[in-house]
């Protein structure tokens, strides 16, 4: 058997493209994308246009050769499928923009209205599609013609256009049992259109077939057949990807196979499916240069190092899921940083460049970051580790790990900063105590507040507070705001930047935006949970700093008192007039309680500016002797 990859092309309605326009278009696109020509592949392109018109003699519908998996097996298969599809999605990159109707009309092009889509699918040649959907005999005739061309074993790549995508989905469960579909790429598919429903197909493909590696559906923004809805509305496990080829000379042109196959993203995806990753030949060119890390880069390295330390503590299924998520997060983080740095004409530091890998290659090793930051001050470590502990650094994935695992990872991270391992444990304990104080309960586990801070950060950024809170010691305002503009306040990078800037955020009141920001934190746009998460972060940092005798920012007290003033005034104003059970009044009462508890803790622990200092605790040995010795000790002092 030939070692060449096998491409099965399934055409749509019409005459079956006897001139091979689809092949010529794909050949040109593959060449432009740097892939070999189709001469290096075995191309199977059965023509069945005549079979769609009617049938001569009855034929049996090919039997389904692949049965449904057991529940547990289907779960594992779907997880593996998602891992492969996520790698392909990362390789494909961002979707094209939708066309803008006003601009399109202004340029003389006609936008795709529902009426246009209806008119196109009602054209005479689309009757072939109706024949396939309505007649089991025609369906059997088409499937049998295709199966007669398909090899009995081996790996194939399916590229299917228009009605061909309906045929391909129907074919998936009828292939020879020794055939594996390395990839299925559909273009211009009408499968999600209500007119193209095939009996039982959706129910049969609730989960991805075990012999299918991945499925990507491309939708042209100008295609009246495909643009109404993505195929993921019918098969949620596949990937929909929008492209924009621009308008054609008539409404049908953007639907043609040659237009789709001329698009660079479509061609590159088919090229990858056929010939594999180009990185094996041109290998990750940019490994970075030896320069100091800025704030965003430093926090990315910190977050990835923490993730790897957590992963090293895990085992079994949790480790497998965590590793799959970490591969995705690390690939995306390096890619995002590279794109961000390029936009500001900054090279990628080598410490991060070496963490890049071919995510699309399942066998590629995941590089592990090093974080040798010996000599980090306790003050900086308090900010960094509190930010890590408060943030889901694996975002957008959510995988719960035990407190012991988190503690071990934070202890190791503290050690790599040149601090005692206990410092890492104290970070978790400070977070737990902070949330316990705000909820008046000491039996709580530290809950990550990073997701809550993302919403709060949008408000703080809008008033200029977040850049000011970062301060010159961490990063200039321009660096912080530029990074957040690229990464947003969520995700690993944005989340760590946000949490790091908000820790001990007394500087948030600096500048003209401080008052507006406080009003927003106290107002309706900030929920009770968001305010609690924001204050918990402040309080956790205060507790940790106090425990390790690090100076506490007096601005935290001022920030909390300003919030208290705004919340109390609004609460009193509404409470006197509104209904007794009004939701807004209850919300303000909860906010008032939360900020009050935080201020009470600060006051009771000698952190109120101008207030009495908290007395030094007595030595343990003296405590054990009993209370009668205390007066003598005090006189001796």
Four-residue CA torsion sign, 562, 552, 393, 279 = positive
607 or 312, which is more confident = 312
Rounded Cα–Cα distance for residues 323 and 399 (Å): 11
Average of per-residue pLDDT across 146-171: 95
SS3 284: coil
CA distance 502 to 476: 14
- Give the 3-state secondary structure of residue 44: strand
Question: What pLDDT score does 628 carry?
Answer: 44
Whether 23 shows a pLDDT value over 80: the answer reads: yes
Secondary structure letter of residue 611 according to DSSP: S
What would the mean pLDDT of 512-536 be, rounded to a whole number? Answer: 76
For residue 553, give the nearest of 461, 475, 470, 616 by alpha carbon. Answer: 470
**Nearest partner of 222 among 89, 124, 102, 104, judged by Cα:** 104
Residues 262 and 605: their CA atoms lie apart, in Å, by 69
> How confident is the model at residue 179, as a pLDDT?
96
Rounded distance between C-alpha atoms, residue 359 and residue 350, angstroms: 19
∠ Cα 590 592 594 (to 5°): 70
pLDDT at position 49: 87
Q: What's the pLDDT band for 100 if we cut at 50, 70, 90?
A: very low
The CA–CA distances, whole Å, from 562 to 340, 363, 455, 470, 558 equal: 36, 55, 20, 20, 6
Quickly tell me which residue has 């008033």 as its tokens.
463
Q: How confident is the model at residue 507 (pLDDT cuts 50, 70, 90)?
A: low
C-beta atoms surrounding 605 within 10 Å: 15
Predicted local distance difference test score (pLDDT) of residue 114: 57
| pLDDT tens, residue by residue, 31-74 | 999 999 999 999 999 999 888 888 778 899 999 998 888 989 99
Please give the full DSSP string across 454-498, using - where no structure is assigned: HHHHHHHHHTTHHHHHHHHHH--HHHHHHHHHHH-SSHHHHHHHH
Checking if the pLDDT of 27 tops 90, the result is yes
Tens of pLDDT along 546-605?
Answer: 999 998 888 889 889 999 999 999 999 999 899 988 999 999 999 999 999 999 999 999
Q: Is the pLDDT assigned to residue 236 strictly greater than 80? A: yes
Q: What is the pLDDT, as a whole number, of residue 582?
A: 93
| Strand order across the beta sheet in which 42-44 lies | 42-44, 6-10, 153-161, 178-187, 215-220, 239-243
Q: Report pLDDT for 402.
A: 93
pLDDT band per the 50, 70, 90 thresholds, residue 523:
confident
Instruction: Read off the pTM.
Output: 0.76
Q: What is the dihedral of CA 550, 553, 557, 560, to 10 degrees?
A: -110
Checking if the pLDDT of 624 tops 50, the result is: no
Instruction: Read off the pLDDT of residues 371-407 as tens digits, 9 standing for 90 and up.
Output: 877 888 999 999 999 989 988 899 889 999 999 999 9
Least confident of 29-33, 196-200, 279-283, 321-325: 279-283
Range of lowest pLDDT (204-208, 306-310, 507-511): 507-511
Average pLDDT (101-120) is 50
CA dihedral sign, ordered 261, 263, 264, 268:
negative
CA distances, 3 to each of 156, 275, 360, 567 (Å): 12, 11, 21, 72
Within 13 Å, how many C-alpha atoms sit on residue 281's CB side? 8
Q: Output the DSSP codes for 207-256.
A: S--TTB--EEEEEETT-TTTTTS-GGGT-TTSEEEEE-----SSTTGGGS
Q: Does residue 475 surpass a pLDDT of 80?
A: no
β-pairing, 215-220 vs 153-161, is unpaired
Give the C-alpha separation, 282 to 486, whole Å: 28
pLDDT of residue 428: 92
Task: Please say if the pLDDT value at position 408 is more than 80.
Answer: yes
pLDDT tier, 488 (very low <50, low <70, confident <90, very high otherwise): low
pLDDT score of 517: 65
Q: What is the mean pLDDT of residues 300-314?
A: 96
Q: How confident is the model at residue 427 (pLDDT cuts 50, 70, 90)?
A: very high
Q: How many angstroms separate the CA atoms of 76 and 70, rounded? A: 10
Mean pLDDT of the chain, nearest integer: 82
* Residue 448: pLDDT band with limits 50, 70, 90: low
Percentage of the chain exceeding pLDDT 90: 49
Distance from C-alpha of 495 to C-alpha of 87, rounded to nearest angstrom: 23
Query: For the chain, what's the residue count?
Result: 637
pLDDT score of 161: 96
Q: Are strands 6-10 and 153-161 parallel, antiparallel or unpaired?
A: parallel
Report residue 256's pLDDT band, with 50, 70 and 90 as the boundaries. Answer: very high
CA 208 to CA 205: how far, in whole Å?
6
Which of 521, 324, 308, 554 lies closest to 416 in space, CA to CA?
Answer: 308
Cβ-contact 243, 265 below 8 angstroms: yes
Give the tokens for residue 114.
């529902």
Whether the CB-CB separation of 488 and 494 falls below 8 Å is answered with: yes
Q: What is d(CA 372, CA 249) in angstroms, rounded to the nearest whole number? A: 60
Q: Over 80: is that where the pLDDT of 1 sits? A: no
Whether the pLDDT of residue 615 is over 60: the answer is: no
Q: Rounded to an integer, what is the distance from CA 415 to the centroid of its chain?
A: 30
Query: pLDDT at residue 629 above 50?
Result: no
Q: Is the pLDDT of residue 119 over 90?
A: no
3-state SS string over 113-159? Answer: CHHHHHHHHCCHHHHHHHHHHHCHHHHHHHHHHHHCCCCCEEEEEEE
């Amino acid at each position: 058997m030939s070692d060449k990859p096998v491409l099965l092309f399934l055409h749509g309605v019409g005459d079956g493209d006897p001139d091979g326009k689809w092949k010529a278009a794909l050949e040109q696109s593959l060449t432009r994308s740097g892939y070999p020509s189709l001469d290096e592949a075995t191309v199977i392109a059965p023509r069945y246009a005549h079979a769609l018109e009617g049938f001569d003699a009855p034929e049996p519908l090919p039997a389904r050769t692949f049965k449904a998996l057991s529940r547990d097996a289907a779960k594992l298969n779907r997880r593996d499928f998602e891992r492969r599809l996520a790698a392909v999605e990362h390789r494909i990159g961002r979707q094209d923009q939708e066309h803008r109707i006003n601009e399109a009309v202004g340029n003389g092009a006609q936008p795709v209205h529902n009426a246009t889509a209806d008119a196109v699918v009602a054209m005479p040649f689309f009757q072939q599609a109706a024949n396939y959907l309505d007649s089991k005999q025609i369906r059997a005739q088409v499937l049998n013609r295709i199966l007669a061309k398909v090899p009995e074993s081996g790996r194939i790549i399916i590229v299917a256009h228009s009605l061909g995508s309906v045929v391909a989905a129907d074919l998936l469960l009828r292939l020879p049992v020794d055939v594996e579909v390395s990839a299925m790429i559909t273009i211009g598919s009408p499968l999600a259109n209500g007119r193209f429903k095939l009996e039982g197909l959706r129910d049969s493909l609730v989960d991805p077939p075990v012999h299918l590696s991945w499925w990507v559906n491309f939708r042209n923004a100008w295609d009246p057949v495909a643009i109404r809805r993505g195929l993921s509305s019918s098969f949620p496990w596949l990937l929909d990807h929008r492209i924009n080829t621009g308008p054609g000379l008539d409404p049908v042109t953007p639907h043609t196979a040659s237009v789709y196959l001329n698009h660079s993203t479509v061609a590159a995806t088919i090229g990858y499916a056929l010939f594999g990753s180009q990185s094996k030949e041109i290998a990750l060119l940019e490994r970075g240069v030896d320069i100091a890390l800025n704030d965003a880069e430093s926090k990315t390295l910190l977050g990835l190092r923490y993730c790897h330390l957590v992963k090293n503590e895990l085992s079994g299924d949790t480790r497998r899921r965590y590793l799959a998520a970490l591969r995705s997060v690390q690939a995306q983080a390096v890619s995002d940083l590279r794109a961000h740095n390029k936009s500001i004409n900054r090279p990628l530091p080598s410490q991060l460049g070496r963490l890049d890998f071919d995510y699309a290659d399942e066998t590629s090793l995941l590089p592990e970051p090093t974080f040798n930051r010996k000599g980090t001050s306790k003050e900086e470590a308090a900010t960094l580790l509190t930010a890590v502990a408060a943030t889901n650094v694996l975002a957008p994935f959510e995988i719960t790990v035990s407190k012991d695992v988190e503690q071990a990872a934070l202890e190791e991270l503290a050690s790599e900063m040149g601090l005692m391992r206990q410092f890492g444990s104290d970070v978790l304990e400070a977070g737990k105590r902070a949330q316990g104080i705000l909820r008046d309960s000491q039996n709580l586990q530290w809950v990550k507040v990073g997701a809550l801070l993302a919403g709060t950060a949008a408000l703080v950024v809008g008033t200029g507070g977040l850049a000011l809170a970062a301060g010159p010691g961490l990063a200039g305002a321009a660096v912080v705001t530029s990074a957040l503009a690229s990464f947003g306040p969520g995700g690993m990078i944005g989340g760590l930047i946000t949490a790091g800037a908000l820790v001990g955020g007394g500087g948030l009141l600096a500048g003209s935006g401080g008052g507006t920001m406080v009003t927003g934190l106290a107002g309706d746009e900030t929920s009770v949970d968001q305010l609690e998460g924001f204050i918990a972060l402040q309080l956790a940092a205060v507790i940790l700093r106090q425990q390790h005798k690090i100076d506490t920012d007096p601005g935290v007290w001022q920030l909390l008192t300003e919030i208290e003033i705004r919340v109390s005034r609004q609460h009193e104003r509404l409470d006197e007039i509104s209904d007794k059970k009004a939701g807004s009044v209850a919300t303000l009462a909860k906010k008032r309680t939360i900020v009050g508890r935080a201020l009470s803790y600060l006051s009771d622990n000698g952190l109120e500016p101008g207030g009495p200092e908290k007395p030094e605790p007595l030595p343990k040995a003296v405590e054990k002797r009993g209370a009668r010795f205390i007066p003598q000790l005090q006189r001796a002092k």
